[in-house]
Amino acid sequence: MRSKHSTNTHHVNLYFQVHQPRRLGQFSFFDIGTGRDYFDDGLNQIIMRRVAHECYLPTNLLLLKLISLYPNIRVTFSISGTALTQLERFAPAALESFRMLAATGSVEFLSETYYHSLACFISQEEFATQVSLHRDKIKQLFNVEPAVFRNTELIYSNEIGKMVYDLGFTGIFADGSDFIMGQRNPNNLYNHPQQKELTLFFRNCSLSDDIAFRFMQKNWSAWPLTPKKFTQWLESFPIDENITTIGIDYETFGEHQKRDTGIFQFLEGLIATLAKHKTLRMTTPSEAIELISPKDVVDVCQPTSWADREHDLSAWLGNEMQQDAFETLKSLGSTVLKSERPEVIATWRYLQTSDHLYYMSTKTGDDGNVHSYFSPYASPYEAFMNYMNIVSDFSSKVQRVKSTELTTSLTAA
């Protein structure tokens, strides 16, 4: 099927992922039982303020300038709850610039799990709770209610799609890798195989990575990447391909790729070109759902993601260390939730943040280099030991809470 309103328009959905984990401090075996804090919020403050200075503030101000010039600009953000909390604490000016973008009406905010976690593999209830917490935070900060969902690291399957649909969302994002798409093209909307009202957006991996990873590679055959060249690629798509989703980390601008690479000039030129284009139209996900008819259904039985060459869960659960860490934390859930102690529950959820598992990856090659780039640890084994020391200490605290509550209950009886 073609666009409901125009057979000549090719829609472009440009969305940015904004995420900063709450990083852990160094926690040795000898720190267990000492009462030492798990989180290095001094480091978190330094990193958040640096990223806000290098990326969030200048890029947001650039978007605000462009939107004032071209009101038809549309962009999409997915901001994790852990990033929002740290923006509130450490970089309020950057948070205010996101509020200013929200006020333009040109930006759509997606929902996700508050703690950027793998909650979808813990329980449906925990997943729903974290999604609700994030929805409430977006409403509180930006006065909008997200209608479209983006799961942590674009992790998606039919089962996850059903959970998201049951929570009232109209669309969900996934990665358009060959593993998922097969002979299909990511430059269309699709439907969930059972929940036909749920629209699936598939990220165009190649074009997204051209900006996020290949922009600085001088040995790349298409280097240098210019707004004109990128726009020509979008123009070349056949008429039956009606939407291209470009999804990248927001930190690409100014943090991963520094200002002197020309990345800001590229972004400004690309958005201005799209805003003035006659047949390319920038579109938010909710607008796309209204304007474009899904082409087909896509059946995704096994979980997929946007990470690494495999586009599966191996970035977080690919080795025994990662699996042990995740299952150990997961096993504490019932006791943690029964405690009804907000500080205990919040700590358990912060420990769920997917980055902690990502740092434990033992992959080599290009994927291994990316894991190492983001990791604050000297090795995945150090990441594992540090995490498990914290989980061991936290488990002891949880058991003490349980024991205290049992004693209190017996005394009251």
Catalytic residue ranges? 153
Pairing mode, if any, of strands 190-191 and 199-203? Answer: antiparallel
**What is the distance between the alpha carbons of residues 128 and 342, in angstroms, rounded to a whole number?**
17
Q: Reduce the DSSP state of residue 236 to 3 states and report it.
A: coil
- CB atoms < 10 A from the CB of 337, how many? 16
**What is the distance between the alpha carbons of residues 169 and 127, in angstroms, rounded to a whole number?**
14
**What is the distance between the alpha carbons of residues 146 and 162, in angstroms, rounded to a whole number?**
17
Contact 17, 150 (CB under 8 A): yes
**What is the distance between the alpha carbons of residues 393 and 132, in angstroms, rounded to a whole number?**
29
**What is the distance between the alpha carbons of residues 375 and 361, in angstroms, rounded to a whole number?**
10
Task: Give the residue from 162, 140, 136 showing the smallest Cα distance to 151.
Answer: 162
Give the tokens for residue 49: 């303020």
| Secondary structure (DSSP) of 350-404 | HTTBHHHHHTT----HHHHHHHHHH-SSSSHHHHHHHHHHHHHHHHHHHHHHHHH
State residue 247 phi and psi, 5-degree precision.
Answer: -125, 125
Contact 228, 273 (CB under 8 A): yes
Q: Is the N-terminal amide bond of 224 cis, ω within 30° of 0?
A: yes
Sign of CA dihedral 31, 32, 37, 42: positive
**What is the distance between the alpha carbons of residues 163 and 60, in angstroms, rounded to a whole number?**
32
**What is the distance between the alpha carbons of residues 97 and 92, in angstroms, rounded to a whole number?**
9
